[in-house]
Amino acid sequence: MADPTPLLSQANNTPCDIATQTNEHLSSLGSTIEKCIGEFNWSQFLLAVLVSFAWIFDAQQTFITVFTDAMPSWHCTGESQNLNQVSDIRSNLQLSPTVKIWNDCYSATSFNDMCKLPKGSWAWDGPAHASMISEWALECENSIITGLPASMFFVGCLVGGFFLSTLADSSSLGRKNMLFYSTLLMALSSFLTTFSPNIWIYSSLKFLTGFGRATIGTSSLVLASELVGKRWRSKISVIGFFCFTIGFLSLPAIAYVNKASSWRNLYLMTSVPTLFYCMLVKIFVQESPRWLLVRGQKEEAIATLKYITSITQSNLNLAISNMSSHEEENNLNVDLFYALKILLQEKWSSRRLLFVMAIGFGVGVVYYGMPLGLGNLSFNLYLSVTFNALSELPSSLVIFFFIDKFRRRIALLVFCIISGVFSVMSTMEGEIWSKMQIWFELISFFSACTSFGIYLIFTTELFPTCVRNSALSMARLAVVFGGVFSPLLVGAGREYKFLCYGVFGLAIGISGVFGVFLPETKGRALCDTMDEEENKGKISCDTLA
């Protein structure tokens, strides 16, 4: 039987205590946190899982328009005319108006042809309220109008990513409150979408949804990674990727159950659980102890560490009180863009941010563009979308089991190049090549998903706590910005396939090269201040030299 009081018997011999009682030197903030967090335990795991659940709702709102804004199938009304009847009718000198309408209807092959038909000659296969397009009679509007809600969502992501990116670092909100308020705004906007009277109100609410959604993934990833020590940091970060995949795959199931009901129900069925999740975050989630110490909030940091570790409060008090005073950055009266200004003022950090965003742009073009361009391939659209959604799962598994063995720079470069090569190969024409296109595309998308996951983890390790949330927000902003160009390339690829998947391949292949210019972070402890990160970067450069 295990010792019933192992923590008490070891209370005076903890790594935290030993490291801080020595008089040889004062501990840095980063090393103190690493030692005080201690061994990975169930409290840390459950908190990390709860925080990562935000990715489920993030994915649902990102891809929900695939179903709510879909163009429904339709059919001709009236009695069916077989080929013999049509042949006999055409042999007559004159066609009756009714027969001509039927003939035109059955020969229609696209929605453009459908719009030329009289209203009574065709009908939707399902109820009109199954899609916002059929409910508001937008089937004959141009693609700019029908695609406006989805476009406004991504515009909201861009605007929100820029204006909210530094709040979790520079303001008093912190990681937890930023996650809570962002998720709450997304949930409320999504809930109000169920009452949209027209496409203009609908598009405005989609903008607000995207605005709130912009920093959810960032806040969740940063908070989860800062609740654990460096040994488990990478694996915990992957939980968010699994949750995103679950959210993506849950949408077809929800949409199938709702196929005979209003499209508004999809927003209702996804927003209500999100509101409930916000309550759980507010009640149970703890703030990042790293962020609290960087802000000078020692009492709150001690309370959080006591909640997620087995270290006694007296040892925590001693450890934190012995930290070097110059390690604390109490930024209580800074402006909202303080963290971003710090990133851009320092030469090394601005250089890193530039390379990181260059990588993100190329990854974003492929990550958002490939699912949109599946209609340009010679394969069943529904199966290809399902395969693409499922390919995110093995990608997350690869990262989960091998991230600790990957050198970040090399892994990012290799997966970006693989994605680029197979994306270009999917543009090849010919009977044999056409059958291989979907497999080339799946390998390319799998590699892009893996690159995206490594990219996010790499970014969290490249920047210190005081600016980490801002840096990761800018990195994700670059990914979304790359996604903005994807629909344009997909449209151009309908006529010239290389302008779609060929350009996708070149974009991600070239972007991976920028990772070579960034410092390696595998197995390295997270830094908390700009000075600490800069000094560690210099040591790494000297070692490589």
Band of the pLDDT at 19, cuts 50, 70, 90?
A: very low
Same domain? 43 vs 151: yes
User: Does residue 28 sit within a domain?
Assistant: no
Residues 6+ positions from 244 with CB-CB distance below 8 Å = 55, 56, 58, 59, 217, 392
In this structure, the answer to whether residues 62 and 136 fall within a common structural domain is yes
Is 104 among the domain residues?
no
Task: Kindly state the percentage of the chain with pLDDT values over 70.
Answer: 72
| Pair (364, 502) in one structural domain | yes
Is 481 a member of any domain?
yes
CB atoms within 10 A of CB 106: 16
Summarised one tens digit per residue, pLDDT across range 72-99 is 777 777 544 443 444 444 444 344 555 5
Q: How confident is the model at residue 25 (pLDDT cuts 50, 70, 90)?
A: very low
Q: How far apart are CA 537 and CA 23, in angstroms?
A: 27
Whether 450 contacts 422, CB under 8 Å: no
Does residue 279 share a domain with residue 186?
yes
Q: Residue 59 is encoded by which pair of tokens? A: 């994915």
pLDDT band (50, 70, 90) for residue 20: very low
pLDDT of 30 above 70 = no
| Pair 257, 351 in one domain | no
- For residues 40-66, give the mean pLDDT: 88
Confidence of residue 38 (pLDDT cuts 50, 70, 90): low
Q: Select from 506, 526, 201, 542 the least CA-distant residue to 369.
A: 506
347 in the same domain as 238: no
Average pLDDT over residues 307-331: 54
pLDDT score recorded for residue 231: 73
125 lies in some domain? no
The CA distance from 69 to 143, in Å, is: 12
Residue 298 counted as domain residue: no
Query: What CA–CA distance (Å, rounded) separates 50 from 457?
Result: 19
Total domain count, the chain? 2
Torsion of CA 132, 138, 144, 149, to 10 degrees: -20
At residue 136, the 3 state secondary structure works out as coil
Give CA–CA dist 325/518, Å, rounded: 30
Pairwise pLDDT comparison (298 vs 220), residue with the higher score? 220
Mean pLDDT of the chain: 77
The number of angstroms, rounded, from the C-alpha of 489 to the middle of its chain's C-alpha atoms is 21
The one-letter amino acid at 336: L
Q: How confident is the model at residue 321 (pLDDT cuts 50, 70, 90)?
A: low
Answer whether residue 385 shows pLDDT above 80: no
Residue after which a domain boundary falls, among 267, 285, 303 = 285
Angle at 11 between CA 8 and CA 17, to 5 degrees: 170
Do residues 280 and 50 touch, judged by C-beta distance below 8 A? Answer: yes
- Where a domain ends, among 254, 269, 285? 285
Q: How far apart are the first and last CA of the chain?
A: 52
Q: What is the mean pLDDT of residues 359-373?
A: 85
Whether residue 487 sits in one domain with residue 347: yes
Same domain, 258 and 363: no
CB 374 within 8 A of CB 385: yes
What is the Cα–Cα distance from 320 to 293, expressed in whole angstroms?
Answer: 9
Whose tokens are 């659940």? That residue is 53
Instruction: Flag the least confident range among 9-23, 86-100, 361-375, 437-451.
Output: 9-23
User: What is the pLDDT averaged over residues 330-344?
Assistant: 63
> Does 499 or 542 have the greater pLDDT score?
499
CB 38 within 8 A of CB 10: no
What stretch of H or E contains 281?
helix 264-284
Residue 288 CA to residue 305 CA, distance in Å, equals 9
Copy the structure tokens of residue 243.
Answer: 């949750």
Residue at 82 is within a domain: no
DSSP string, 217-278: HHHHHHHHHHTS-HHHHHHHHHHHHHHHHHHHHHHHHHHHHTTTS-THHHHHHHHHHHHHHH
427 vs 354: which has the higher pLDDT: 354
Q: Pick the residue with more confidence: 30 or 144?
A: 144
For residue 329, the model assigns a pLDDT of 45
Residue at 539 is within a domain: yes
End residue of a domain, out of 285, 315, 341? 285
Report the percent of the chain where pLDDT is more than 90.
23
Q: pTM for the full model? A: 0.72
Q: Are residues 217 and 357 in the same domain?
A: no
- Can you tell me the distance from the alpha carbon of 268 to that of 196, in angstroms, rounded to the nearest whole number? 12
Q: Which of 280-294, 350-364, 412-426, 510-524 has the lowest mean pLDDT?
A: 280-294
Integer angstrom CA distances of residue 503 from 129, 163, 362: 38, 30, 10
Q: Do 340 and 258 belong together in one domain?
A: no
Looking at residue 94, its pLDDT comes to 47
Residues 135, 48, single domain; the answer is yes
Asked whether residue 316 is assigned to any structural domain, the reply reads no
pLDDT at residue 56 is higher than 90: yes
Output the CA–CA distances (angstroms, integers) from residue 62 to 114, 143, 160, in the order listed.
Answer: 30, 19, 14
Spatial separation of the C-alpha atoms in residues 529 and 465, rounded to whole Å: 6
Domain that holds residue 159: 35-72+130-285
For 76, the 3-state DSSP assignment is strand
What pLDDT sits at residue 378?
66
Residue 209 has what pLDDT?
95
Q: How confident is the model at residue 227 (pLDDT cuts 50, 70, 90)?
A: confident
Check residues 151 and 143 and name the one with the higher pLDDT. Answer: 151
Whether the predicted pLDDT of 267 surpasses 90: yes
- Residue 1: its pLDDT value, please? 42
Both 140 and 271 in one domain: the answer is: yes
**What average pLDDT does range 246-272 have in this prediction?**
88
529 or 262: which leads in pLDDT: 262
Cβ atoms 38, 15 nearer than 8 A: yes
The pLDDT tens digits for 230-239 are 777 777 878 8
Neighbouring C-beta atoms of residue 114, cutoff 10 Å: 18
* pLDDT in the model for residue 374: 66
- Average of pLDDT values for 29-58? 80
CATH number of the domain residue 363 falls in: 1.20.1250.20
Provide the angle, in degrees to the nearest 10, between the axes of the packed helices 54-63 and 199-213: 150
Could you tell me which of 15, 21, 17, 26 has the C-alpha nearest to residue 323?
26
Whether the predicted pLDDT of 50 surpasses 80: yes
Q: What is the pLDDT of residue 327?
A: 45
Distance CA 304, CA 290 (A): 10
Which ranges of 131-215 would DSSP assign to H, the alpha helix?
132-135, 143-146, 148-164, 167-170, 174-193, 199-213
